[in-house]
Amino acid sequence: MHNDRERCVRAVQSKDSRFDGWFFCAVLTTRIYCRPSCPVAPPKPENMRFYPTAAAAQQAGFRACKRCRPDASPGSPQWNERADVVARAMRLIADGVVDRDGVPGLSAQLGYSTRQLERLLRAELGAGPLALARAQRAQSARILIETSTLSMSDVALASGFASIRSFNDTVREVFALSPTELRKRAKQAPSSGTLSVRLPFRAPLFPDNLFGHLAATAVPGVEEWRDGAYRRTMRLPHGHGIVALKPLPDHIACQLTLTDLRDLSNAISRCRRLLDLDADPTAVDALLSEDPVLKPLVAKAPGRRVPRTVDGAEFAVRAVLGQQVSTAAARTHAGRLVAAHGEPIEDPMGGLTHLFPTPEALAEVDPESLALPRSRRTTLTSLVAELDDIDLGVGSDWERARAQLAELPGFGPWTIESIAMRALGDPDAFIPTDLGVRIAAESLGLPSTPAALTAHASAWRPWRAYAVQYLWATGDHPINLLPQ
């Protein structure tokens, strides 16, 4: 979009927050870059330059605006919508792969040489993987500087910087302030033990089905709803964490307790993905509203998101446990598995007790000990045996993962598309065989057979996963209700 100069100028002049994260506006006279909705007076159009990422603006010599904080704007929807190499690379960079494994590790996961990947990213984004990761490190550093009492040397290490010097230089270059000056300017009082972060999103956001789904399907010991927030444990690259996510009118309040602060950016990225916060609800709802059947559903509650997951392998196991059983039964099966094979953790609030079992732990489970039909035991053990070879992570190839899952016994369209929707993050995943979808289709006068409904739903592409949320919402089920 940054190449459509006329459209970008209009967005900046109207301070349109819908375009935050889609592009960044840099001002030649001040050498500052902003989000489109920056509250300051818009610059003259001839002084505007547009960039697709904050990293590209920083690489061009611009520093972040202190008013609108463009480094903290919602991410571009493109990286969740698209399945090409650039989008997969951006999802992996957000997940911290470059900080952990370097550019060679990122290239290896994508199956490209480092030179090819560098060329692809520079051609579309104006910055290479190192610059993109550096911009993310700067944002992580800012969060730690402003919300913790850590020493600056610890902040530098936790943010992924190789040295104190590169940390200081980057913070000064990006924010035009030293780390110490940033901490002095912070309005939020420092906290110890728990980091409080604001997760922005593009309005509108309808939280009822999003948080209702997560709470209604919560696995005992791993997830819970407490004090108006969804809480869960997370297994992270350097340790584990506990997150509490609370919906507020203009942002999601996020409280993170981490055993290793190097996991901060990764944890934030997973929380944003879990709640689908980088979606473009305006585009989704506009297309779905073209169907006269869906139009009143969208008008009644615009901005529905797709509840996703923080761990693709975990959700795949849970999808198998949920085959042909009720939500309550699926929770019971998963809870038993967690209690017997999950890793115990300590929760200051006492409600969370375990991390979900790793594939290695599940591989040691005796199938006969599972209170499941024999066919489902076979399905589960077959999945666990192949989890190391099936990429269900943020950088996965959606179609390849579908094909690999289809080769496993007991994996039909419902299971595969459920995993594609919530674990892989495919916005066009569609489950016409789902009971709730079929009941909704019949009540709305839509075709009820899977083939006919799929044909009708072709007009909803590429947003069929969001159409499913609107169809589910017609039913009387706890997943549609924000818990009290």
**C-alpha R_g of the chain:** 22
Q: Give yes or no for residue 189 having a pLDDT over 60.
A: no
Tokens encoding 463: 């947003």
With b meaning 16 or more CB within 10 Å and e meaning fewer, what string describes 214-252? bbbbbbbbbbbbeeebbbbbbbbeeebbbbbbbbeeebb
Residue 252 DSSP symbol: E
Q: Give yes or no for residue 195 having a pLDDT over 80.
A: yes
- Which range among 82-86, 227-231, 302-306 shows the weakest confidence by mean pLDDT? 82-86
Question: pLDDT grade, residue 188 (50/70/90)?
Answer: low
pLDDT, mean over the chain:
93
315-347 confidence digits (pLDDT tens): 999 999 999 899 999 999 999 999 999 999 999
Contact in structure between 303 and 205 (CB atoms under 8 Å): yes
374-394 confidence digits (pLDDT tens): 999 999 999 999 999 999 999
Give me the pLDDT at residue 221, please.
Answer: 97
Q: Is the dihedral of CA 156, 160, 166, 167 positive or negative?
A: negative
What superfamily does domain 78-147+150-185 belong to in CATH? Homeodomain-like (1.10.10.60)
Contact in structure between 235 and 356 (CB atoms under 8 Å): yes
Give me the pLDDT at residue 360, please.
Answer: 95
∠ CA 150-72-288, nearest 5°, is 140
Tokens encoding 344: 């115990």
As beta bridge partners, residue 247 has: 252
As a whole number of angstroms, the distance between CA 239 and CA 258 comes to: 8
Tokens encoding 454: 């799929």
HSE-up of residue 49 (Cα within 13 Å, Cβ side): 18
Collect all residues with Cβ–Cβ distance below 8 Å to 21 and sequence separation of at least 6.
35, 73, 74, 75, 76, 77, 202, 278
Contact in structure between 288 and 251 (CB atoms under 8 Å): no
As beta bridge partners, residue 355 has: 343
Contact in structure between 255 and 188 (CB atoms under 8 Å): no
Give me the pLDDT at residue 2, please.
Answer: 78
418-435 confidence digits (pLDDT tens): 999 999 999 999 999 999
**Cβ neighbour number for residue 82 with a 10 Å cutoff:** 16
Residue 358 DSSP symbol: P
Q: Give yes or no for residue 191 having a pLDDT over 50.
A: no
CATH of domain 5-72: 3.40.10.10
The more confident residue out of 89 and 150 is 89
- What residues are annotated to the active site? 34, 434
Q: Burial, 352: exposed, middle or buried (Cβ in 10 Å; 0-12, 13-18, 19+)?
A: buried
Q: Is the dihedral of CA 15, 16, 21, 26 positive or negative?
A: negative
- Tell me whether the omega of the peptide bond preceding residue 179 falls within 30 degrees of 0, making it cis: no
Q: Give the DSSP H/E element, type plus range, for residue 141.
A: helix 129-147
Collect all residues with Cβ–Cβ distance below 8 Å to 142 and sequence separation of at least 6.
71, 72, 171, 175, 182
Contact in structure between 55 and 125 (CB atoms under 8 Å): yes
Give me the pLDDT at residue 149, please.
Answer: 84
27-82 confidence digits (pLDDT tens): 999 999 999 999 999 999 999 999 999 999 999 999 999 999 998 888 889 888 88
437-455 confidence digits (pLDDT tens): 999 999 999 998 999 999 9
Q: Give the DSSP H/E element, type plus range, for residue 231.
A: strand 229-236
Question: pLDDT grade, residue 193 (50/70/90)?
Answer: low
Q: Give yes or no for residue 483 having a pLDDT over 90.
A: no
Q: Give yes or no for residue 1 having a pLDDT over 80.
A: no
Give me the pLDDT at residue 348, please.
Answer: 86
- Tell me whether the omega of the peptide bond preceding residue 462 falls within 30 degrees of 0, making it cis: yes
Give me the pLDDT at residue 148, please.
Answer: 84
As a whole number of angstroms, the distance between CA 164 and CA 368 comes to: 54
The pTM score is: 0.92
Residue 367 DSSP symbol: G
Tokens encoding 220: 């005992």
Q: What mean pLDDT is predicted for residues 286-309?
A: 97
- Domain range list for the chain: 5-72, 78-147+150-185
Q: What mean pLDDT is predicted for residues 81-103?
A: 93
Of 288, 346, 356, 289, the C-alpha closest to 321 is 356
Q: Are strands 32-34 and 223-226 parallel, antiparallel or unpaired?
A: unpaired
